[in-house]
Amino acid sequence: MAKKLVTLRIDEHTLQVPEGMLVVDAARTVDVDIPVFCYHPKMDPVGMCRMCLVEVGRPVVDRATGEVVKEADGSPKIAFGPKLDTACTTPVSEGMVVRTNTQKVKEGRKDILEFILTSHPLDCPVCDKGGECSLQNLT
Protein backbone atom coordinates (compact mmCIF):
# COMPACT_ATOMS: atom_id res chain seq x y z
CA MET A 1 0.00 0.00 0.00
CA ALA A 2 1.39 3.39 -1.01
CA LYS A 3 2.08 5.95 1.69
CA LYS A 4 -0.09 9.04 1.85
CA LEU A 5 1.49 12.10 0.21
CA VAL A 6 1.86 15.33 2.18
CA THR A 7 2.45 18.82 0.82
CA LEU A 8 5.09 21.01 2.43
CA ARG A 9 7.33 23.93 1.61
CA ILE A 10 11.12 23.95 1.88
CA ASP A 11 12.44 27.46 1.30
CA GLU A 12 10.83 28.53 -2.00
CA HIS A 13 9.97 24.97 -3.09
CA THR A 14 6.51 23.45 -2.65
CA LEU A 15 6.62 19.67 -2.89
CA GLN A 16 4.70 16.48 -2.25
CA VAL A 17 6.48 13.58 -0.60
CA PRO A 18 5.42 10.43 1.27
CA GLU A 19 4.25 11.06 4.83
CA GLY A 20 6.99 10.26 7.32
CA MET A 21 9.91 11.01 4.98
CA LEU A 22 12.65 12.89 6.81
CA VAL A 23 13.09 16.59 6.09
CA VAL A 24 16.69 16.06 4.94
CA ASP A 25 15.54 13.52 2.31
CA ALA A 26 12.65 15.71 1.18
CA ALA A 27 15.06 18.64 0.75
CA ARG A 28 17.30 16.54 -1.47
CA THR A 29 14.39 15.86 -3.85
CA VAL A 30 14.36 19.58 -4.74
CA ASP A 31 18.16 20.06 -4.61
CA VAL A 32 18.18 21.93 -1.30
CA ASP A 33 21.46 21.10 0.41
CA ILE A 34 21.33 20.58 4.16
CA PRO A 35 24.77 19.78 5.65
CA VAL A 36 25.03 16.51 7.57
CA PHE A 37 27.88 14.59 9.19
CA CYS A 38 26.15 11.80 11.12
CA TYR A 39 23.31 11.00 8.70
CA HIS A 40 23.24 8.14 6.19
CA PRO A 41 20.02 7.14 4.38
CA LYS A 42 20.59 3.42 5.08
CA MET A 43 20.96 3.87 8.84
CA ASP A 44 18.59 5.00 11.57
CA PRO A 45 18.90 8.76 12.16
CA VAL A 46 20.46 9.90 15.42
CA GLY A 47 20.85 13.68 15.07
CA MET A 48 24.18 13.69 16.92
CA CYS A 49 26.19 16.20 14.90
CA ARG A 50 23.33 18.75 14.72
CA MET A 51 24.71 20.31 11.53
CA CYS A 52 21.36 19.80 9.80
CA LEU A 53 19.56 22.39 11.92
CA VAL A 54 16.54 24.02 10.24
CA GLU A 55 13.58 26.16 11.26
CA VAL A 56 10.33 24.20 11.14
CA GLY A 57 6.87 25.74 11.09
CA ARG A 58 3.59 23.88 11.27
CA PRO A 59 0.00 24.94 10.63
CA VAL A 60 -1.79 26.27 13.71
CA VAL A 61 -4.79 24.11 14.64
CA ASP A 62 -7.75 25.47 16.60
CA ARG A 63 -8.04 23.29 19.72
CA ALA A 64 -11.80 23.62 19.90
CA THR A 65 -12.60 22.70 16.31
CA GLY A 66 -9.51 20.83 15.15
CA GLU A 67 -9.48 23.01 12.03
CA VAL A 68 -6.40 24.75 10.65
CA VAL A 69 -6.41 28.47 11.50
CA LYS A 70 -6.34 30.67 8.38
CA GLU A 71 -4.65 34.02 7.74
CA ALA A 72 -6.68 36.93 6.30
CA ASP A 73 -5.69 35.85 2.78
CA GLY A 74 -6.97 32.30 3.38
CA SER A 75 -3.56 30.65 3.69
CA PRO A 76 -2.83 28.50 6.75
CA LYS A 77 -1.33 30.30 9.73
CA ILE A 78 2.14 28.84 10.36
CA ALA A 79 3.79 28.80 13.80
CA PHE A 80 7.54 28.37 14.08
CA GLY A 81 8.99 26.88 17.25
CA PRO A 82 11.53 28.75 19.36
CA LYS A 83 14.24 26.15 18.76
CA LEU A 84 15.85 24.77 15.63
CA ASP A 85 15.09 21.17 14.63
CA THR A 86 17.40 18.53 13.15
CA ALA A 87 16.38 17.79 9.56
CA CYS A 88 17.74 14.23 9.80
CA THR A 89 15.32 13.23 12.58
CA THR A 90 12.26 15.34 11.75
CA PRO A 91 9.57 13.64 9.64
CA VAL A 92 7.62 15.79 7.19
CA SER A 93 3.97 16.56 7.88
CA GLU A 94 1.10 18.17 6.00
CA GLY A 95 1.49 21.93 5.63
CA MET A 96 4.97 22.03 7.17
CA VAL A 97 7.22 24.96 6.26
CA VAL A 98 11.00 24.45 6.48
CA ARG A 99 13.54 27.27 6.36
CA THR A 100 17.11 26.19 5.69
CA ASN A 101 18.94 29.46 5.14
CA THR A 102 17.76 32.02 7.69
CA GLN A 103 20.08 34.01 9.95
CA LYS A 104 18.98 31.89 12.92
CA VAL A 105 19.87 28.68 11.04
CA LYS A 106 23.22 30.07 9.86
CA GLU A 107 24.16 31.13 13.40
CA GLY A 108 23.11 27.75 14.82
CA ARG A 109 25.18 25.83 12.27
CA LYS A 110 28.16 28.16 12.78
CA ASP A 111 28.05 27.55 16.54
CA ILE A 112 27.81 23.78 16.04
CA LEU A 113 30.69 23.80 13.55
CA GLU A 114 32.87 25.76 15.97
CA PHE A 115 32.05 23.26 18.72
CA ILE A 116 32.92 20.30 16.47
CA LEU A 117 36.20 21.91 15.46
CA THR A 118 37.28 22.45 19.09
CA SER A 119 37.39 18.69 19.65
CA HIS A 120 38.34 17.53 16.15
CA PRO A 121 41.95 16.59 15.41
CA LEU A 122 43.14 18.75 12.54
CA ASP A 123 45.67 16.30 11.09
CA CYS A 124 44.19 16.74 7.63
CA PRO A 125 47.32 15.83 5.61
CA VAL A 126 47.46 12.33 7.13
CA CYS A 127 43.71 11.73 7.47
CA ASP A 128 42.05 9.05 5.29
CA LYS A 129 39.35 11.57 4.36
CA GLY A 130 41.83 14.23 3.24
CA GLY A 131 40.38 15.99 0.22
CA GLU A 132 36.94 14.35 0.61
CA CYS A 133 35.97 15.73 3.99
CA SER A 134 32.63 17.44 4.50
CA LEU A 135 34.05 19.15 7.60
CA GLN A 136 36.82 20.72 5.48
CA ASN A 137 34.23 21.75 2.89
CA LEU A 138 32.20 23.66 5.50
CA THR A 139 35.13 25.49 7.08
Burial class (CB in 10 A: 0-12, 13-18, 19+), 33: exposed
Higher pLDDT, 3 or 133: 3
Of the chain, the percentage scoring pLDDT greater than 70 comes to 84
d(CA 69, CA 2) in angstroms, rounded, equals: 29
23 C-beta neighbours (distance < 10 Å), count: 27
Span 34-47, mean pLDDT? 83
Sign, CA torsion 108/112/118/123: negative
Parse the chain into domains and list their residue ranges.
5-121
pLDDT digits 0-9 by tens, 83-127: 999 999 999 999 999 999 999 999 999 999 888 888 776 666 666
CA atoms within 13 A on the CB side of 79: 9
* 3-state secondary structure (DSSP) of residue 57: strand
d(CA 125, CA 119) in angstroms, rounded, equals: 17
pLDDT digits 0-9 by tens, 53-91: 999 999 999 999 999 999 999 999 999 999 999 999 999
Span 25-46, mean pLDDT? 88
d(CA 52, CA 66) in angstroms, rounded, equals: 31
- Output the pLDDT for position 131: 62
What is the CATH number assigned to the segment(s) 5-121? 3.10.20.740
Going along 72-131, which residue ranges are E strands? 78-80, 85-86, 97-99
